[in-house]
Amino acid sequence: MKFSQSFYDRAYSAFRTMYRFLFKVLFRWEAYGLEHVPESGGAILAVNHASALDPPLGGVALDRKIWVLGRSSLIKNRLLDFVFACQHLVPITRGIADITATKKIISLIRSGEIVLMFPEGTRSVDGTLGPGKEGVGMFVRHAKADVIPCYISGSWKALPKGARLPRLRKVRIIYGPLIRYAEFKDIPKTRKGFQQISQKIMERIAALKNHLEQSDRSSYRGWKSVPQGDGK
């Protein structure tokens, strides 16, 4: 049974409120760089992926509702279908050209929505950053999307791949300066070009990680100092 979009939007807000409280208790989460998240307009929220906690963590600090790109294999029954729909999951089938999901994601971005994606494509098994894969780059080029880089610290320690129960670990979420589409518009619309875009985004995420590791907490008040390059 399907409900109206306004129902799912209200459900999303309820889940976000629940996650804010639950994650504060379990992980003492903090977010930095919120001024870099635009108040309106479509964009891709590009997040590193080390834990099943990352999809809700990526949007927990944002007042804007976001959508989440996720693999369709997560939906194993009608109950999970409903629960994930209430959290704005857009399921996409891996390994094939899922035209329906692709069109929906591009339409969401063009209509002014933020869609969370993982440039690495899959969860890290050891918490380290992986290379960017072509998927996010494809969406950037076809939707002509700006990109919000985001690094989540601590989620791998809290719930690594294969773990069943979360651990009490500190989690921090850092949003970096918006990457304008103009930076990518001349890159060819090829698989190699898409991967190049995703890798550039991963370099910005790595810069956020390095900035976090090298700076004390007081520095987060001035995120315009976040490196714009590859963070190496």
Query: pLDDT digits over 26-54, tens only?
Result: 999 999 999 999 999 999 999 999 999 99
Q: Specify the pTM.
A: 0.90
Q: Look at residue 223 and tell me if it is in a domain.
A: no
CA dihedral 215, 216, 222, 227 (to 10 degrees): 10
**Beta-bridge partners for 147:** 44, 179
Domain count, the chain: 1
Q: In CATH, what number is assigned to the domain containing residue 154?
A: 3.40.1130.10
Q: What is the pLDDT along the chain (232 residues), one digit of tens a residue?
A: 789 999 999 999 999 999 999 999 999 999 999 999 999 999 999 999 999 999 999 999 999 999 999 988 888 899 999 999 999 999 998 777 789 999 999 999 999 999 999 999 999 999 999 999 999 999 999 999 999 999 999 999 999 998 999 999 999 999 999 999 999 999 999 999 999 999 999 999 999 999 988 875 545 444 444 444 443 3
Q: Look at residue 153 and tell me if it is in a domain.
A: yes
Q: Look at residue 146 and tell me if it is in a domain.
A: yes
Q: Look at residue 225 and tell me if it is in a domain.
A: no
Between the alpha carbon of residue 179 and those of residues 43, 147, 151, 156, the distances in Å are 10, 5, 14, 26
CA dihedral 85, 88, 93, 95 (to 10 degrees): -160
Between the alpha carbon of residue 189 and those of residues 31, 43, 55, the distances in Å are 34, 19, 27
For the stretch 103-125, pLDDT in tens is: 999 999 999 999 999 999 999 99
Q: What residues have CB less than 8 Å from 195, skipping those under 6 apart?
A: 132, 133, 134, 137
Q: Domain of 103? A: 5-162+169-217
Task: Calculate the average pLDDT of the chain.
Answer: 91
